[in-house]
Amino acid sequence: LMENWCYEKECLDLFAKHYETGEAIPGEYIQKIKDSANFMSGMGTIRQISLGKIDMGWHAADRANSSDTIDVKAIEKDSIKGLDFYPSVKETCTSTSFSHIFQGGYSSGYYSYKWAEVLDADAFEAFQEHGIFDKATATKFKTHVLSAGGSEDPSILYKRFRGRDAKVDALLKRAGLV
């Protein structure tokens, strides 16, 4: 969430100044920074969603007690149907180098990267709606999200902060996809 402020003119004007003249960073440069951050964001989004779907493809079916041979390529192809814009390279598989889904606690949870981005973008939109330095919004976020931590279901805490469930629209807007 915190990195969002570095793209806001109101924040940058506080410190992003020319070292000799003290002149604030021009607005057109700020826009170029935002544009470069969003360059090919659609492809990055599809990639992350594809990886999440491959992860779920592996963990959705019960293969633990199966003696059948597993066709890795078929699982991947089936998992990302509709997201495969480029032909796959024969005899290559994402799963064989995608360690997140088999170690490190992300098994069937890789989608959480993208979900975290949804929460981040939607939460920051609350600050944009009321002013990025709005004390009431910051206090509400601190009280209902940060201070509460893992004491309750995160979706309930988030809803208390935002007054509603998170919406993907803010992420799509921030990424320049809508």
Is 52 within a domain?
Answer: yes
Span 79-99, pLDDT tens digits: 999 988 888 788 888 888 888
Question: Residues 129, 161: one domain?
Answer: yes
Signed CA dihedral, 54, 60, 61, 62: sign only: positive
Q: What is the pLDDT of residue 20?
A: 96
* Boundary (domain end) residue, out of 101, 136, 152: 101
Range of the domain at 76: 41-101
Span 161-174, pLDDT tens digits: 999 999 999 999 99
- What is d(CA 175, CA 46) in angstroms, rounded to the nearest whole number? 12
- What is d(CA 1, CA 120) in angstroms, rounded to the nearest whole number? 5
Pick from 36-50, 70-84, 88-102 the range whose average pLDDT is largest: 36-50
Question: Residues 48, 30: one domain?
Answer: no
Question: Residues 95, 134: one domain?
Answer: no
Span 100-130, pLDDT tens digits: 888 777 778 889 999 999 999 999 999 999 9
Question: Residues 66, 26: one domain?
Answer: no
Helices (H), 9-111: 9-12, 27-37, 41-60, 72-79
